[in-house]
Amino acid sequence: MAEIIDGKKIASEIRDGIRTRVADMEKKTGGRPGLAVVLVGNNPASAVYVRMKGKGCEEVGIKSFSYSLPENASEKELLALVDDLNRNREINGILVQLPLPGQIKEKSVIYGIDPAKDVDGFHPVNVGKLLIGDEDCFFPCTPYGCQELIARHVKDLKGKHLVIVGRSNIVGKPLANMMVQKNSRANCIVTVCHTAAPDIGYHTRQADILVVAAGSPEMVTGDMVKKGAVVIDVGTNRVQDPADATKTRLVGDVKFDEVSMVASAITPVPGGVGPMTITMLLKNTVKAYMIQNGVA
């Protein structure tokens, strides 16, 4: 049976460190990092995420600023707000909650955020810096959390074969770029699988470390995993509960009961990668404050 990688516990440990760091910086500089989160519309899931981010900020001592625009807000209105936040020196990080209503182009908004405040790590400047290995950038939060979990459970990553299932701009692509870099938290041989692969199992069975971020419920089964692999399940899928047709349950992209019998370590869903995402956002916000204020 695989070791369960407890994302909640690890996230809590990291937040303890962030809280201490924020308190130390306030003593040195007289200020604290500030994070602005913008919500457009009334998507219930997005509203929950925004509240969780505000709660995370409060927990570690980061100043939280919340902005809401109506569902019918124009792209021009949102970009004007982003521009105001770019110029607000009290705000060090800006996050516009996705998805956005159809009348607003996500690309326009991402490009409109000052790269120095882009704590989501989606601006092309930060994507480019990540690709060339420039540490003066912000790593996208979910792959950043995945890397943290991997680095804590695989002591020597050099030359390990990391296989990623999924090529999204949010997880798959940035994680591949992060894990191929020449440093102690990476230096892996990286394979990225996606829907064009005729036999994904052929690739996943070669993985020392397997990250699944395909958005497909329980697609990776026990026979697709090499014995002793470390498995990071990024998927969050709500499916019908087979025991009760009136209820749903949360599952990952990995068939946990099967894969946990083969892997050496595995993240659960929920409680694995999920708690890490907001925690790494908080870490990015502290980094933004330090860069903007010349704090060592």
Active site residue 241: no
Q: Examine residue 268 and say whether the peptide bond preceding it is cis (omega within 30 degrees of 0).
A: no
Instruction: Confirm whether 105 is a catalytic residue.
Output: no
Backbone angles phi, psi at 61, to 5 degrees: 95, 10
Cβ-Cβ contacts under 8 Å for 198 (sequence gap 6 or more): none
Rounded (5°) CA angle 97-99-103 = 110
d(CA 17, CA 13): 7
Contacts of 158 (CB under 8 A, 6+ apart): 187, 188
Closest CA to 7 of 263, 232, 160: 232
Active site residue 53: yes
Of 63, 114, 117, 120, the active-site residue reads 120
Count of CB atoms situated within 10 Å of the CB of 107: 10
Which 3 state secondary structure label does DSSP give 31?
A: coil
Give CA–CA dist 243/225, Å, rounded.
27
Pick the catalytic residue: 97, 160, 233, 287?
97
Q: Rounded to an integer, what distance in angstroms lies between the CA atom of residue 7 and that of residue 145? A: 9
Q: Which residues are catalytic?
A: 53, 97, 120
